[in-house]
Amino acid sequence: MKKFLMLFFALTLGLFTVSCSSDDDSGDGGGDLVGAPGNPRFNLQFTNPDNVDLDLYVKTPNGVTIYWANVSADGGTLDVDCLCGSCPQGPNENIFWENGTAPTGEYEYWVEYFGSCTGGSPSSNFTLRVLKNNEVVATRTGTLSSGTSTVWTHVQN
């Protein structure tokens, strides 16, 4: 309910600032990713976790969205969720499917600025990687101080 009220407040005031870029470079190596491996796997890393709550969203080909309020659907699971400094595994979020369990088709994925942890509109940089067969197939980067990133797609065969 807290997240809903914060989002409603931000929508009411029109507090949206979004800056995103796309980079399909699969050669970034993925850094030190936190969370379970999978196929596919969507991994979000971000800055400023004590001041900003960023959330990872993945909509499956069946139209079900996995995120903090719906942590499991269509075989996929959100296994790492960072909330305002309560991030035992660092500023990361991770959604994955065990190999061979993911529905085929088009996935939509994005980052949402859920809210400030301390007031105001602090920003956070993010890197969102999509992995298939343990290889990075897409890297998305941006900065959010409110709102939602671009909605990207991934096709799982």
Q: Which amino acid is at 20?
A: C
What is the pTM for the complete model shown?
Answer: 0.83
Q: What is the pLDDT of residues 39-87, one digit of tens each?
A: 999 999 999 999 999 999 999 999 999 999 999 999 999 999 999 989 9
- Selection from 136, 152, 130 nearest residue 42 by Cα: 130
Tens digit of each residue's pLDDT (9 = 90 or more) over 111-134: 999 999 999 999 999 999 999 989
Q: Which is it for the CA torsion 114, 119, 125, 127, positive or negative?
A: negative
Residues 6+ apart with CB under 8 A from 18: 113, 142, 144, 146, 147, 148, 149
